[in-house]
Structure 1
Amino acid sequence: MARIVLVHGAWNTAESWQFIVPLLRDAGHDVTAITLPGHGNDPTPPAEVGLSTYATYVAGVLRDGEPAFLVGHSMGGMVISAAAELAPEQVRRLIYIAAFIPQDGQSLLDLIKTQSALGISKAVQRGPEGATVLNPELAADALFQDASPELRDAALKGLTHQPNRGQIEPAHVTAERFGTLPRSYILCLQDRTVTPELQRAMLAAAPGTETYELDCGHVPQLTAAPQLAALLNTIISEAS
């Protein structure tokens, strides 16, 4: 049995893992899916939330138990990287799912600007103070074009606001802390939000990252949950 902490991406909450959590628990793991500060029903004002806020929160969760496999989806890759810098002793392995891997001083916005595809940016609209929301119709095609109509509608209802600073604040990671940790990456071949080209570019800048592939869109925890859970179990089993 392993401890697993799941970190969602932008405009989302812990509910984005609803199909994955029971599959991992059925495999015998201790699984925690968290909702980041400023997301969903969390009372933290979005204008007060940045990447450092996320990292401090996740580091606190990590310290409340044994070392964990820390899993991040999309923006969650920024979060797990920054949290691992704060508490590397609490991380057994970092696992990225169609996620951002920052170099020191890079923000999510820095990385997303390097891809030519519009991705999710075409769906972004002004939201509450210090935050954005997504136009659901435009977002669906970028996030989960491979979802059934039923899954698509359920996922759209789960979208929430996204604190701006969470995407523009740069990550601080060092070779001495974050850089000592083993990493695995699950590359999504049909991704329209974080394109495969960008995913591969980030991997090229992070040598030594173990890489796997899924033939799906940006949100495999929604559209390919059994395959993703099986792959996570394989990664964890091989690392244990």
Structure 2
Amino acid sequence: MFTLFPYRPEIHQFPYSDYWFRPRGHYSSPYSEGGLHWRRRALESDESWRMSDQQRLTFVLVHGSWADAHFWDGVAAALRSQGHDVHTPEYAGHGTDPNKHVSHAMITKSVVAFIMRLNLRDIVLVGHSFGGSVIQKAAEQIPDRIKRLVFWDAFVLKDGESVADELPPQTRQSFEQLRAGSEDDTIPLPFPLFRELFVNTATLEQAKQFYTSVRPEPAKPLFEKLDLQVFYTLPTPKSYVYFYQDNVLPQGEGFGWNPHMSARLGLFRLIVGDGDHFTDTRTRPAMVAQKLYEAGRD
């Protein structure tokens, strides 16, 4: 258990009466056409999440560890249904990239190159989890193309830190042991860890379905210390989205997402939700999309 902060945001109930997931035969990925799917009719007809007067934004969504660009499929669909322009870059060492011997700089380069190739400007650059460290470094390289940075339960590293430096000792030790036991310098995520930390609000059946997408994570980028001096000079507007049931980092004792990470942004906008680290992108993507919109709008 972890200590909640004193504010008590409204708990969102399941927003769709006809919104559901189901298996469709054998599948290798829960995002594939033959895997778990959502009814588009829910995204198109549920007026509680449709806001015709929304400001149209350009989102670039950067996923975190043990995930790939498909992490955003449902959220991206919900944002696009509102008329937003949405991009979900894949970065080095993930997705279909067989090379797991990558660096943090290679990952950042993937995201920056994606943005430059499409000549995207005035973007809302969103980072989830490990993706927070990626958008920190990306922002240093293309600050003139970014309208706002949005960190969703994401690492905001101090200058000279690594992601591993912000992990609780027990978690870091587990990752180091898993890394040492791998043959390709990756960190596999055991199901018990995934279940309790990443999808703690999901049913067991959902957790097992979601786990089929989890792949070993390249270890090196998690332990690299980053030079972030330039990041902390940027005037770019920033937001932090905090889901208070997220159990990946314990709250208090020098850890946690908010305010431990978020306060490092200086002046920032705080948006709060009631989900965990992973589940709601699958079960309530329109809710997640709305939170990201609230974080990104003017």
Q: Corresponding residue for 1:236?
A: 296
Equivalent pairs counted in the alignment come to: 234
DSSP-derived class of the 1:201 partner: coil
Does 1:216 pair with 2:275? yes
Higher mean Cα deviation, 192-201 or 119-128?
119-128
Equivalent residue letter for 1:13: D
2:241, 2:92 → 1: CA distance?
25
2:86, 2:204 → 1: CA distance?
28
Q: Note the residue ranges of structure 2 that are not aligned, 5 or more in a row.
A: 1-55
Q: Corresponding residue for 2:107?
A: 54
**TM-score, L = length of structure 2:** 0.72
1:20, 1:162 → 2: CA distance?
22
Identical amino acids, percent of aligned pairs? 26
Higher mean Cα deviation, 225-234 or 100-109?
225-234
Equivalent residue letter for 2:289: A
Alignment check: 8 A CA contact 1:7 1:76 kept: yes
RMSD in angstroms over aligned alpha carbons? 2.3
Question: For the structure 1 residues 224 and 122, does the alpha-carbon distance in structure 2 shift closer, same or farther, using more than 3 Å as the test?
Answer: farther
Equivalent residue letter for 1:184: S
Out of 52, 67, 75, the residue aligned to residue 130 of structure 2 is 75
DSSP-derived class of the 1:71 partner: strand
TM-superposition CA deviations, 1:57-87 (whole Å, max 9, x none): 1111122322211111100101111111111
Higher mean Cα deviation, 207-216 or 169-178?
169-178
Runs of 4+ aligned residues of structure 1 deviating over 6 Å after TM superposition are none
Question: For the structure 1 residues 119 and 149, does the alpha-carbon distance in structure 2 shift closer, same or farther, using more than 3 Å as the test?
Answer: farther
TM-superposition CA deviations, 1:178-221 (whole Å, max 9, x none): 62211111112111112344211122232212111111211242
Higher mean Cα deviation, 13-22 or 170-179?
170-179
TM-superposition CA deviations, 1:159-192 (whole Å, max 9, x none): 1121111101122223577622111111121111
Larger Rg: 2
Q: Which has the larger share of strand?
A: 1
After TM superposition, give the deviation of residue 21 of structure 1 in Å: 1.1
DSSP-derived class of the 2:92 partner: coil
Q: Which has the larger share of helix?
A: 1
Q: Note the residue ranges of structure 1 that are not aligned, 5 or more in a row.
A: none
Does 1:165 pair with 2:224? no
